[in-house]
């Protein structure tokens, strides 16, 4: 080693390549002999390049995000700060319970808070997303009937349900039975009655539903299902509308999943991470994934002794950093969780009343946290589709709401303002939507070719979906 560093062809020092070859660290055939050809840019040039790229991204800090169906509320930065504390980020997931009492205490207390908010009796924090929570809940329901010695094969799902509902039930081997909505946008009770038999395991419902309408007959539905020996599953995607006013237990539900990124202000999108805790009534607690977090008056611990557990559904114990953020939000809000729902409902009804004169309102009912308009009028009269309206919103620094969902509304425009937005933001959105409605009459060609100001203009979405180009080209 000493001779390698002392001399190299009479020149003090030695090149890195020579040093590696002499040490037999890398085979000579694998060593680069030509310069790599990297761009010769200063650090400042590189920073400006990536800053410009980041400025092209749309985010809730940049503009209004009335997505609809997926509550995109503001994520307080204090949550991120707390989740990044070294005591959390440096703790190994294989640590013994005795060495991570603080972490277990946080998860236990978060679970207790979610139980109180939902009215349920037991909880798992393992599921990594809302759809994962759905799957976990349906696995619990399936195992419940298996233990009872009953092979119930059907799950009833409203025709306005989130697409993940039938997918989750089908993955568990259930047959999907749709139930139609009535003229008020709610479950048709008489049709539901006609679908009930000994094969029905459960009904999956969102309340308020995907039209933003509260199911006023939910107690009757619960009574019908339970008299049939069936269970009720609550999709918690729209839970942001009811916090502090009611809960799934009062409505008669047996299983509920919560989207922490929707209701409890953890980051949303980008593929995760997420969290979809599942809460259940007493008779189902022995079916939860193992382990659950328990407390025995002396210590917090991971309890694997779950009699009929469906088994673990996530490595280690869920996405812990997301759980921290949700717990921080709940502690920070306290009783103001009720006020959050109040403002979400107020904002949605305000927008609905302001916009229903310019767009079709298929269900003119008091809404909860969201509502659904239709662009059918603009399409039929001026050839401006809902997709064109959504693209035009991009030119106004506003993220388009969910469109073409739920499927029972033609040319659907699903709008959810959340409680995070001020009246000034809502009024600006109203002005934009009214402007677009007017332009649909006076200048439809502009809308059909929108967006005009974004870095990427109109794409051929059908071609992109059917023939995705996944090859990287320089």
42 located within any domain:
no
CA angle, corner 361, sides to 359 and 365, nearest 5?
150
Q: In sequence order, what DSSP letters do the residues of 266-327 get, joined into one string?
A: ----TT------EEE-GGGGGGSPSPEEEE-SS-EEEE---TT-----SSBTB-HHHHHHHH
- Look at residues 335, 320, 340 and name the one whose alpha carbon lies nearest to residue 82: 320
Q: Are residues 109 and 187 in the same domain?
A: yes
Q: Is the pTM of this model over 0.85?
A: yes
Q: How far is it, in rounded angstroms, from Cα 179 to Cα 359? A: 28
Q: How far is it, in rounded angstroms, from Cα 182 to Cα 36? A: 67
Q: Which of residues 291, 306, 335 is at a domain's end? A: 335
What is the Rg, in whole angstroms, of the alpha carbon atoms belonging to the chain?
27
- Each of the 474 residues of the chain gets a pLDDT tens digit; together they read 333 344 445 445 545 444 444 546 788 888 888 888 888 899 999 999 999 999 888 888 889 999 988 888 888 999 999 999 999 999 998 999 999 999 999 999 999 999 999 999 999 999 999 999 999 999 999 999 999 999 999 999 999 999 899 999 999 999 999 999 999 999 999 999 999 999 999 999 999 999 999 999 999 999 999 999 999 999 999 999 999 999 999 999 999 999 999 999 888 766 567 899 999 999 999 999 999 999 999 999 999 999 999 999 998 888 999 999 999 999 999 989 999 999 999 999 999 999 999 999 999 999 999 999 999 999 999 999 999 999 999 999 999 999 999 999 999 999 999 999 999 999 999 999 999 999 999 999 999 999 999 988 888 878 878 887 777 554
In the block, tokens 């080209």 appear at 473
Q: Are residues 293 and 419 in the same domain?
A: no
Q: How far is it, in rounded angstroms, from Cα 84 to Cα 91? A: 12
* Contact between 71 and 240 (Cβ < 8 Å): yes
User: What confidence score (pLDDT) does residue 36 get?
Assistant: 86
Q: Are residues 331 and 347 in the same domain?
A: no
Q: Residue 409 belongs to a domain with what CATH number?
A: 3.90.1150.10
Q: Are residues 174 and 246 in the same domain?
A: yes
Q: Are residues 346 and 312 in the same domain?
A: no
65 located within any domain:
no
**Beta strands 371-374 and 412-415, pairing class:** antiparallel
Q: Which of residues 335, 361, 389 is at a domain's end? A: 335
Q: Are residues 373 and 353 in the same domain?
A: yes
135 located within any domain:
yes
Q: Are residues 301 and 365 in the same domain?
A: no
Q: How far is it, in rounded angstroms, from Cα 277 to Cα 113? A: 12
Q: Please count the CA atoms within 13 angstroms of the CA of 232 that sit on its side-chain side.
A: 25
142 located within any domain:
yes
Element (H, E) at 60: none
* Contact between 439 and 447 (Cβ < 8 Å): yes
Q: How far is it, in rounded angstroms, from Cα 324 to Cα 301? A: 18
471 located within any domain:
no
User: What confidence score (pLDDT) does residue 2 get?
Assistant: 36
In the block, tokens 């998860």 appear at 107
67 located within any domain:
no
Q: How far is it, in rounded angstroms, from Cα 401 to Cα 115? A: 31
Enclosing domain of residue 435: 339-466
Q: Residue 182 belongs to a domain with what CATH number?
A: 3.40.640.10
- The arrangement of strands across the sheet holding 371-374 comes to 371-374, 412-415, 402-403
Q: How far is it, in rounded angstroms, from Cα 422 to Cα 347? A: 9
Q: Are residues 431 and 405 in the same domain?
A: yes
In the block, tokens 């949550």 appear at 79
Q: Are residues 349 and 202 in the same domain?
A: no
* Contact between 276 and 89 (Cβ < 8 Å): no
Q: Are residues 110 and 198 in the same domain?
A: yes
43 located within any domain:
no
| Ramachandran angles phi, psi of 201, nearest 5° | -85, -40
Q: How far is it, in rounded angstroms, from Cα 149 to Cα 216? A: 34
3-state SS class at 200 = strand
Q: Which of residues 301, 335, 369 is at a domain's end? A: 335
Q: How far is it, in rounded angstroms, from Cα 47 to Cα 350? A: 42
Q: Are residues 81 and 127 in the same domain?
A: yes
Q: Are residues 327 and 353 in the same domain?
A: no
66 located within any domain:
no
Q: How far is it, in rounded angstroms, from Cα 288 to Cα 133? A: 11
> How far is C-alpha 37 from the chain's CA centre?
43
CA angle, corner 285, sides to 206 and 173, nearest 5?
60
Q: How many residues does the chain have?
A: 474
- Say how many Å lie between the first and final Cα of the chain, rounded: 43
> Domain total for the chain?
3
| Ramachandran angles phi, psi of 170, nearest 5° | -65, -40
DSSP assignment letter at 53: H
């Amino acid at each position: 080693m000493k001779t390698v560093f002392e001399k190299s062809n009479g020149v003090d020092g030695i090149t890195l390549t020579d040093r590696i070859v002499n040490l037999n660290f890398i085979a000579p055939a694998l060593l680069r002999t030509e310069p790599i050809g990297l761009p010769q840019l200063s650090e400042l040039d590189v920073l400006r390049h990536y800053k410009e790229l980041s400025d092209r991204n749309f985010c809730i800090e940049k503009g209004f995000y009335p997505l609809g169906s997926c509550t995109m509320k503001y994520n307080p930065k204090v949550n991120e700060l707390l989740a990044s504390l070294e005591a959390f980020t440096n703790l190994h997931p294989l640590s013994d319970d005795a060495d991570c009492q603080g972490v277990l205490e946080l998860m236990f207390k978060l679970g207790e808070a979610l139980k109180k908010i939902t009215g349920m009796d037991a909880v798992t924090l393992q599921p990594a997303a809302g759809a994962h929570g759905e799957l976990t809940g349906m696995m619990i329901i399936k195992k419940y009937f298996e233990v009872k010695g009953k092979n119930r094969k059907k799950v009833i799902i409203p025709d306005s349900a989130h697409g993940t509902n039938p997918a989750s039930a089908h993955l568990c081997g259930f047959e999907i039975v749709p139930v139609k909505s009535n003229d008020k946008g709610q479950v048709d009770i008489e049709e539901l009655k006609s679908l009930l038999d000994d094969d029905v395991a459960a009904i999956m419902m969102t309340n308020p539903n995907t039209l933003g309408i509260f199911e006023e007959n939910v107690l009757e539905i619960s009574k019908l299902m339970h008299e049939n020996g069936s269970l009720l599953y609550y999709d918690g995607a729209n839970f942001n509308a009811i916090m502090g006013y009611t809960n799934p237990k009062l409505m008669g539900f047996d299983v509920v999943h919560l989207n922490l990124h929707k209701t409890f202000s953890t980051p949303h999108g980008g593929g995760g991470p997420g969290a979809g805790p599942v809460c259940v009534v007493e008779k189902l607690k022995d079916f939860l994934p193992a382990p659950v977090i328990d407390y025995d008056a002396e210590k917090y611990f991971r309890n694997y002794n779950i009699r009929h557990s469906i088994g673990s559904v996530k490595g280690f114990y869920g996405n812990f950093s997301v759980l921290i953020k949700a717990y921080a939000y709940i502690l920070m809000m306290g009783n103001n969780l009720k006020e959050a729902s109040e403002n979400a409902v107020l904002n949605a009804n305000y927008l609905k009343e302001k916009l229903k004169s310019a767009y079709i309102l298929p269900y003119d009912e008091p809404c909860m946290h969201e509502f659904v308009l239709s662009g059918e009028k603009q399409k039929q009269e001026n050839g401006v589709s809902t997709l064109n309206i959504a693209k035009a919103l991009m030119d106004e620094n506003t993220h388009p709401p969910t469109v073409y969902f739920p499927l029972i509304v033609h040319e659907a425009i699903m709008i959810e303002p959340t409680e995070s937005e001020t009246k000034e933001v809502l009024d600006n959105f109203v002005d934009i939507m009214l402007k677009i409605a007017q332009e649909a009459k006076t200048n439809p060609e502009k809308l059909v070719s929108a967006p005009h100001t974004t870095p990427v203009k109109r794409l051929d979405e059908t071609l992109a979906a059917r023939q995705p180009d996944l090859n990287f080209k320089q």
